[in-house]
C-alpha cells in the first residue's frame, strides 16, 4: 500500500515511534468487519452467530454488536451481505469502530435526536434500536445527498423502525427550522476518509492535504449550525472516520472557542492497529447555557399540506376492512397523514409544522400509497408493529423464502384477504397479493436477491 508522504508525516506527529511503526506495519492486514443484531429473536441470532462465527464486541438490552472474520467466511463461500438471512429485519452490517461512537449512548423519554449526516444509516439504526420502546421520542435522520438519502431510508425501512423522520436538507435549512430543538445531535461528518484506507483504494487515491482542509471547513459549518439546533444541556456527538488533526481535534477546539457555553465531556481516537476497527475519531460535547425555557407541548395539528381527504379515507378504510384487524383512524397515539401520494402513520407528539417546508422522504411509518384510486400497502408496513394485524399470514419454508426474495410468484391458495403477510423463521419479511391461487410478489425490486 503506497501512501502520500504528507499523510504519513501527519500520522507520525500524532503517535509515538512504537505506535507509528504499529500503524504502518498493520496497514496491509485485512480490514475489520462487524454487524448490529437486534435483540428481538434469540433463535435467529443463535443461527447467525453460528453461521457467521460471530464474536461479541458489546451488547445492551436492545441490540448486540458482533465482529466477524470476512476472509475466513469468504474462504467458505459465506457472505453476510448476500446471505438470505440478510433479508430479515434482524441485522445491519457496520464497521466496528464506527459502532463504538454510540455504544454508550442511551435514549430517554421525551427526547428528540438529530442524526445530521446519517447515510447509510448505521448510527441511526443504533439509536432506533434503543428508542423503539421509549415513549414520546423520535429521531430525525438527515442526509443532504438525495441518492444517499434514499439508501438511508431503505436501510431504516429494512430494519422495521417507525420512530424516524427522514429528511433531505442541508444544515442551514435545518438550522432555520429547528432553533434549540434537539436533545442530542450526532454529526458523523463527511471527511477525508483516512480511516478507510485499508478498505478502499479510492480513499487512498483521492487523499490530499487540500482535501483535509476542504473537509475541515465543511465540518466547521456543520458544528456551528448544530450548535444553534441543540437545546441547552443538550449533547453534541461529533465524529469522523479520519485521523486528520485539522478535521478532528482542531475542529473540536474551534467550536469550544467559538461557543463558550460548550463543554468537552469525552474525546477519543481509534487507530486501526489497536484492533478495534478501521479508525474513528469522536467527541462528546455538552451545551451548558441556561437560556432555554421549556414550554408546554404544542397541540397536535396537521398542516393542510399533510391532511388526508374523504377519498383518501375511503380507500384506506376499504383496504383495512379486507386485510387488517386494526383501524388506522382509531389509534390513540398515531394519526394518518399524506405526503404527495403516500400515506404515513405518525406519532401524535410530533410537531408536523416543523416539517412543512423541508424535504421529507419519509414520516415515521409509510403504510401505503394511492395508485390510481387504490390503496397499495407498503413493504415498510410488513416489517413494522402493524405486521401482527394482518388477517392472512403465511410461514414460508426456506425454498419459498428464497423464491420470494428473488421476486418469484408463489403457488398457494385458501386465503381470506387480498394481501398476505409472509414470514420466515416466524419473522415478517414482506407482502404478497393473492389472486387466482397465486401470491403475486410485492418484494421491492431494488431489494431482490439475484438467483
pLDDT of residue 298: 63
Catalytic residue among 241, 246, 326, 364: 241
pLDDT in tens, 241-252: 999 999 999 999
pLDDT of residue 292: 55
Q: Mean pLDDT over residues 423-436, rounded?
A: 97
pLDDT of residue 296: 46
pLDDT in tens, 8-56: 999 999 999 999 999 999 999 999 999 999 999 999 999 999 999 999 9
Name the average pLDDT for the chain.
95
Among 191, 243, 252, 239, CA closest to 216:
191
C-alpha cell at 261: 457555553
Q: Mean pLDDT over residues 356-377, rounded?
A: 97
Q: Mean pLDDT over residues 377-393, rounded?
A: 97
pLDDT in tens, 270-329: 999 999 999 999 999 999 987 655 544 567 899 999 999 999 999 999 999 999 999 999
Residue 187 has pLDDT above 50, yes or no: yes
**241 is annotated as an active-site residue:** yes
pLDDT of residue 436: 94
Q: Mean pLDDT over residues 73-91, rounded?
A: 96
**For cell 445531535, what's the residue?**
185
Residue 99 has pLDDT above 80, yes or no: yes
Percent of the chain with pLDDT over 90: 95
Lowest mean pLDDT among 290-299, 359-368, 407-416, 441-450: 290-299
pLDDT of residue 450: 80
pLDDT in tens, 326-361: 999 999 899 999 999 999 999 999 999 999 999 999
Band the pLDDT of 381: cuts 50, 70, 90.
very high
pLDDT of residue 72: 96
C-alpha cell at 213: 482542509
Q: Mean pLDDT over residues 395-406, rounded?
A: 98
Torsion-angle region of 38 (φ positive above 0: left; ψ -120 to 50: alpha; else: beta): beta
pLDDT of residue 449: 86
Residue 1 has pLDDT above 80, yes or no: no
Record the pTM: 0.96
Q: Mean pLDDT over residues 84-107, rounded?
A: 95
pLDDT of residue 36: 97
Residue 263 has pLDDT above 80, yes or no: yes
Contact 110, 297 (CB under 8 A): no
Amino acid at each position: 500500500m503506497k501512501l502520500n508522504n504528507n499523510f504519513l508525516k501527519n500520522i507520525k506527529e500524532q503517535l509515538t515511534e512504537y505506535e507509528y511503526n504499529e500503524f504502518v506495519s498493520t496497514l496491509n492486514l485485512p480490514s475489520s468487519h462487524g454487524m448490529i443484531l437486534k435483540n428481538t429473536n434469540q433463535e435467529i441470532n443463535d443461527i447467525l452467530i453460528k453461521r457467521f462465527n460471530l464474536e461479541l464486541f458489546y451488547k445492551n438490552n436492545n441490540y448486540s454488536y458482533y465482529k466477524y472474520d470476512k476472509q475466513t467466511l469468504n474462504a467458505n463461500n459465506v457472505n453476510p451481505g448476500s446471505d438470505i438471512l440478510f433479508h430479515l429485519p434482524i441485522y445491519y452490517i457496520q464497521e466496528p469502530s464506527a459502532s463504538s461512537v454510540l455504544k454508550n449512548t442511551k435514549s430517554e423519554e421525551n427526547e428528540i435526536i438529530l442524526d445530521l449526516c446519517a447515510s447509510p444509516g448505521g448510527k441511526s439504526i443504533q439509536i432506533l434500536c434503543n428508542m423503539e420502546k421509549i415513549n414520546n421520542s423520535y429521531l430525525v435522520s438527515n442526509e443532504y445527498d438525495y441518492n444517499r438519502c434514499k439508501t438511508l431510508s431503505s436501510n431504516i425501512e429494512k430494519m422495521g423502525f417507525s420512530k424516524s423522520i427522514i429528511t433531505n436538507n442541508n444544515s442551514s435549512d435545518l438550522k432555520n427550522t429547528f432553533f434549540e430543538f434537539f436533545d442530542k445531535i450526532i454529526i458523523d461528518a463527511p471527511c477525508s476518509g483516512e480511516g478507510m484506507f485499508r478498505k478502499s483504494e479510492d480513499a487512498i487515491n483521492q487523499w490530499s492535504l487540500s482535501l483535509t482542509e476542504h473537509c475541515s471547513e465543511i465540518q466547521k459549518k456543520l458544528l456551528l449550525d448544530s450548535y444553534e439546533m441543540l437545546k441547552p444541556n443538550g449533547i453534541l456527538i461529533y465524529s469522523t472516520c479520519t485521523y486528520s488533526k485539522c478535521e478532528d481535534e482542531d475542529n473540536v477546539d474551534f467550536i469550544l472557542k467559538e461557543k463558550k457555553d460548550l463543554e468537552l465531556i469525552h474525546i477519543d481516537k481509534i487507530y486501526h492497529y489497536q484492533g478495534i476497527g478501521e479508525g474513528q475519531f469522536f467527541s462528546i460535547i455538552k451545551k451548558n447555557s441556561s437560556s432555554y425555557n421549556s414550554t408546554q407541548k404544542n397541540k397536535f395539528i396537521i398542516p393542510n399540506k399533510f391532511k388526508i381527504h374523504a377519498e383518501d379515507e375511503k380507500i384506506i378504510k376499504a383496504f383495512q376492512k379486507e386485510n387488517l384487524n386494526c383501524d388506522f383512524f382509531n389509534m390513540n397515539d398515531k394519526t394518518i397523514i399524506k405526503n404527495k401520494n403516500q400515506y404515513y402513520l405518525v406519532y401524535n407528539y410530533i410537531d408536523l409544522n416543523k416539517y412543512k417546508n423541508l424535504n421529507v422522504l419519509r414520516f415515521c411509518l409509510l403504510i401505503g400509497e394511492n395508485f390510481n384510486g387504490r390503496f397499495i400497502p407498503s413493504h415498510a408496513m410488513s416489517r413494522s408493529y402493524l405486521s401482527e394485524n394482518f388477517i392472512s399470514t403465511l410461514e414460508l419454508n426456506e425454498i419459498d423464502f428464497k423464491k420470494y426474495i428473488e421476486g418469484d410468484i408463489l403457488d398457494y391458495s385458501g386465503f381470506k384477504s387480498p394481501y398476505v403477510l409472509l414470514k420466515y423463521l416466524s419473522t415478517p419479511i414482506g407482502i404478497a397479493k393473492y389472486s387466482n391461487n397465486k401470491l403475486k410478489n410485492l418484494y421491492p425490486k431494488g431489494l431482490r436477491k439475484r438467483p
